[in-house]
Structure 1
Amino acid sequence: MTAYIIRRLLYLIPIVMGVLLVTFCLFTLVGGDISQQIAGKNADAETIAEIRHEYGFDKPLFLAWDSQFLAHFKKAFTFNFGRALDREKIGEKIFRGVGPSLALTVPMFFGTLVISISFALIVAFLRGTVWDHIIVFLCVAGVSIPYLSFILFGQYYFAYKLDWFPIFYD
């Protein structure tokens, strides 16, 4: 079992490197000039050059030890996600959102657990009956619905209609 766990952890390294490479390529090569977007449409060349230097966009993409990809790789493994466009640290924004997210996720997890175990016991008790087939059909239909639709429905109902929490967190 220990060898299996070690082997799976070693598989994690190329997978994470591949995900980092794909996200780096998507954000760097597809998005256009990021420094121009940060500076704005009417920015002069000096401001754009300062932003490129500040964010490291003036460095080569891949083929150097101080390349943008290696800096991206190092920052990802040290959990330094940089700064957002409003100059606030992204890690702090994520940390502020952890509380509200957990306040929704933990109760929903335990509620889903109770409902799932209840349905499983009912189906096991009523095995082979019409109710067994109906409950199994409803469970399969519920699993087939994308989670995003549950999230959107939950936001609409609990945040917008009932006003229990903010729809988005600043």
Structure 2
Amino acid sequence: MLRYIIRRLLLVIPVLIGISIFVFLIMHLTPGDPARLMLGESAPTEQLEQLREELGLNDPLPVQYFRWLRKALRLDFGRSLRSKKLVTDEIMARLPASAELAVLAVAISVIIGVPVGILSASKPNSAFDNVAMVGALCGIGMPAFWQGIMFILIFSVSLEWFPSSGRMGGWQYYVLPALTLGTRSMAGIARMTRSSMLEVLQQDF
């Protein structure tokens, strides 16, 4: 078993290297000049060339890739083109909010998805089962961005139950984002729980 796990972990390494090369190439194929974005469209050519040299943009692609990979492994992602702050600091500043939403989304998915799946399996083909499974299909099929827009229009704009944005510390600021993130997982958990329960209930004991 240990040998199998080690072999699987070793197979992940070339996959990660391939993904890093793909991401790096996509970044370079994307239209736009980082130096011009940082200095502005009216920047003199001399300043643009100087900044490109400082950033290493004139180096060959393999050199740029290995430098980028070395810095990425050290969690050095450079500076933001917009705020000029370290990208690592920008990520860490937003990490608590992301972690809170992730935990709440998982909690909502499990707390709602599991009971719905159990009730649906205990009453197959009932009105509750049909409504729950149609709702689960809609939850899986609807894009998260569309769900978020609908939640804002209904619960923030029309009903004014929850704020549409912000993070002021109150629980009401987390409800809509957590629901948006957790809807797809909730639907999947409900369907999976129902399927597993039905399989167990149909067995002879």
Return the TM-score normalized by structure 2: 0.69
- C-alpha distance after superposition, 1:6-49 (max 9, x if no partner): 23222221222122112211211332432222221111122112
Instruction: Identify the residue that residue 126 of structure 1 maps to in structure 2.
Output: 123
Pair 1:73 & 2:69 matched = yes
Moved more, 13-22 or 26-35: 26-35
- Per-residue deviation, 1:82: 0.6
- Residue correspondence of structure 1 range 96-107 to structure 2 within 5 A: 96-107=93-104
- Residue correspondence of structure 1 range 84-163 to structure 2 within 5 A: 84-85=80-81, 86-153=83-150, 162-163=162-163
Q: Distance in 1 between matches of 2:33 and 2:137?
A: 46
Identical amino acids, percent of aligned pairs: 25
- C-alpha distance after superposition, 1:59-81 (max 9, x if no partner): 1112xxxx101111112222111
Q: Distance in 1 between matches of 2:76 and 2:155?
A: 34
Indicate the RMSD between aligned Cα atoms, in angstroms. 2.5
Change (3 A) 1:159 1:93: farther
Instruction: Identify the residue that residue 166 of structure 1 maps to in structure 2.
Output: 166
Q: Distance in 2 between matches of 1:155 and 1:18?
A: 39
Change (3 A) 1:165 1:41: closer
User: Highest relative contact order (Cα 8 Å, sep 6+), 1 or 2?
Assistant: 2
- Per-residue deviation, 1:153: 4.3
Residues 52 and 58 in structure 1, CA contact (< 8 A), matched pair in contact too: yes
AA of the residue aligned to 1:97: R
Q: Distance in 2 between matches of 1:156 and 1:27?
A: 35
Q: Distance in 1 between matches of 2:4 and 2:119?
A: 37
Pair 1:20 & 2:17 matched = no
Q: Distance in 1 between matches of 2:148 and 2:23?
A: 25
- Per-residue deviation, 1:127: 2.5
SS of aligned partner of 1:41: coil
Residues 159 and 165 in structure 1, CA contact (< 8 A), matched pair in contact too: no
Change (3 A) 1:133 1:157: closer
- C-alpha distance after superposition, 1:79-114 (max 9, x if no partner): 111101232000100101011122222122201111
